[in-house]
Amino acid sequence: MENKDYQVSEEEAARYRERGYNEDMLPKTREKRNMGTKNYFTLWMGSVHNIPNYTAVGGFLFLGLSPINVMLALILSAFVVALFMTMNGRAGSKYGIPFAIHLRSVYGDVGAKLPGFLRGCVAAIAWFGLQNYTGSLALLVLIGKIWPEFLTLGGSADFFGISIPGLIAFTLFWLINMLIGLGGGNILNKFTAILSPLIYLVFGGMAVWAIQAAGGIGEILAFDTSGAAQSVNPIFAYFMIINSVLAVWAAPGASVSDFTQNAKSTRDQTIGQMASLLVAYIIFAFSSAAILIGGSIHYGIQEWNVLNIVERWDSFPAVVIAMTVFLLTTISTNATGNIIPAAYQLSALFPTKVNYKKGVIIASLISFMIMPWKLMENADSIFIFLNSIGAVLGPVAGVMIAHYFFIGKQTICLDDLYIDRKKDNTKNSYRGLNRQAYTATILALLISFSGQFIPVLQAVSNVSWLVGFSCAFIIYVGLKKLGSEDNSEEAVN
């Protein structure tokens, strides 16, 4: 099949470089597009099989759906996420542009700063630190099982609220994540290629153990949680699960162009990501439900924390292997969803001062200095923060997709997008602020948050991403079609 993507020449890249854009912001030439279908197939595997996602499935089992319906809802969610990721990644794969530049094509060069900062800096850096801390807790348990005396180092001394062993474990895990981030896409490709088969082996083996421990697959599928279930309409429960899965992917989905810019073709990223997410979630849907329910049946308690189930195992090697893979999946999630987008966005905000590697170092240091273990002392504030960022990114994604497919007709003028400040840009459509995009984003944001303040609309909070995305999409297209006087295709200075 002929590759119809726009191929940026070296001469074009050099011209944009002369305009003050650093290497990380330039569109990728053919020689730098090194990710094929296989790379995208392995890219997101580790981001699916992680501790928070397994914990979320435990919550889904309390919505009143049967185990088989929870599995089907997860697989349906995977299809929706895959569609979202591939569609929003098309601008990156067609033109070789990163998220920061993709965002400018929608919101304008001035307007892109706020949504870019929220996704690439606030959300990514804070969540990078929190993921590091969560992973370090698992690492601390793992080290403690291998070297019990390690847990007593420093006695009762602590460092701003964290024990000395905890600080050592956090620093080690933080350093590993930073090094993976510094390696960028090339290291990440190799890392995920090694991790993917381990995921199949380990989680497949855990599912087999759970089925045997429960007394067969029939016992798992017939497991009844109705006694503890919430009173939720089954159809609405499906939407709640889809929304929750989409919320997990809200940040990487918004900035997916940071990865699709390296695609050899749009076809490669489309097939690779669709297959990756569908295969990963089919395995995850079955293994997560089987492990959680099988473990609960085996140990006689309803246990929805997968780490607690693993810690109960009698086999020390099995515990070490499973915990190690969980740590690796956390690293994969942190790289793809947090540190790489943060580095690119810092580079976009300060193009003449910060390149990608400097961005990784700056973001990593900030994530350490905010002392994420202190944030974890108040779980409510963390979840409010994360839910707020997710609610913001739903409308942003809605506007991005609406603009690229329905307003821009999948066409971007790179010569205008990489603005030449020495010229008169009053008629440059990418200059300034896209007011209609901001209007749609803000209105959709208010609607998606309405359930938290208006009791009768409380159900909106359970599907806030879907509501925010849909409202932003409809409002933005409507504003453009109605021909607002503040047409964003006109220059705003």
Contact 27, 261 (CB under 8 A): yes
- pLDDT higher than 60, residue 489: no
Of the ranges 32-36, 229-233, 310-314, 419-423, which one carries the lowest mean pLDDT score? Answer: 229-233
Cα–Cα distance, 458 to 471 (Å, whole number): 17
- The mean pLDDT value for 269-291 works out to 95
C-alpha 437 chain-centroid distance: 23
Rounded to whole angstroms, how far apart are CA atoms 188 and 332? 8
pLDDT computed for residue 200 by the predictor: 82
3-state secondary structure of 159: strand
Query: In terms of pLDDT, which residue wins out, 113 or 490?
Result: 113
The CA distance from 224 to 64, in Å, is 9
Please determine, for residue 234, whether its predicted confidence score (pLDDT) is greater than 50. yes
Q: Name the CA radius of gyration of the chain, rounded.
A: 23
Give the residue-averaged pLDDT of 312-336.
86
Identify the pLDDT of residue 385: 62
**Span 140-169, average pLDDT:** 89
Task: Tell me the helix, strand and coil percentages in the chain, rounded to 5.
Answer: 75, 0, 25
Extract the tokens encoding 483.
């021909």
Q: What is the mean pLDDT of residues 241-254?
A: 89
pLDDT, position 184: 72
Question: Strand 162-163 and strand 158-159: pairing?
Answer: antiparallel
Q: State pTM to two decimals.
A: 0.85
User: What is the model's pLDDT at position 231?
Assistant: 65
Q: What is the DSSP letter of 263?
A: B
Helix (H, G, I), strand (E, B) or coil at 265: coil
Stretch 285-303: mean pLDDT, rounded? 91
User: Which pLDDT score is estimated for 381?
Assistant: 57
pLDDT at 13: 94
Q: Is residue 230 pLDDT above 80, yes or no?
A: no
* pLDDT above 90: percentage of residues in the chain: 49
Confidence (pLDDT) at 491: 41
pLDDT of 448 above 80: yes
Secondary element (H or E) of residue 400:
helix 379-402
With beta carbons less than 8 A apart as the criterion, state whether 324 and 332 touch: no
Q: How far is CA 11 from CA 7, 256, 422, 471, in A?
A: 11, 26, 19, 41
Residue type, 175: L
Environment class of 181 (CB within 10 Å of its CB; exposed 0-12, middle 13-18, buried 19+) = buried
- Cβ(253)–Cβ(173) below 8 Å: no
DSSP character for 113? H
Phi/psi at 406 (5° precision):
-105, -25
Bridge partners (DSSP) of residue 162 are 159
Amino acid, res. 62: F
Please list, in sequence order, all residues whose beta carbon lies within 8 angstroms of the beta carbon of residue 444, skipping any fewer than 6 positions away. Answer: 394, 395, 398, 467, 468, 469, 471, 472, 475
> Quick one: average pLDDT of 17-45?
91
Task: Name which residue leads in pLDDT, 46 or 154.
Answer: 154
The token pair that represents 197 in the structure block: 């088969």
User: Worst-scoring range by mean pLDDT, 196-205, 222-231, 448-457?
Assistant: 222-231
Please give the Cα distance from 265 to 459 (Å, whole number). Answer: 41
CA 414, 251, 241, 444 torsion-angle sign: negative
Over residues 208-217, the mean pLDDT reads: 95
The arithmetic mean of pLDDT across residues 285-290, rounded, is 94
Query: Which letter, b or e, does each residue of 363-394 get, where b requires 16 or more Cβ atoms within 10 Å of its Cβ?
Result: bbebbbeebbbebbeeeeebeebbbbbbbbbb
Q: Any idea which of 47-51, 234-238, 309-313 has the lowest mean pLDDT?
A: 47-51
- % of the chain with per-residue pLDDT over 70: 92
Stretch 93-115: mean pLDDT:
94
Q: Which helix (H) or strand (E) holds 422?
A: none
For the segment 101-111, the average pLDDT, to the nearest whole number, is 95
* pLDDT at site 329: 85
C-alpha span between 17 and 11 (Å, rounded): 10
Binned at pLDDT 50, 70 and 90, residue 5 comes out as very high
Higher per-residue confidence, 425 vs 185: 425
**Second CATH level (architecture) for the domain 34-379:** Orthogonal Bundle (1.10)
Residue 10, class by beta-carbon neighbours within 10 Å (0-12 exposed, 13-18 middle, 19+ buried)? Answer: exposed
How many Cα atoms occupy the beta-carbon half-sphere of 116 within 13 Å? 26
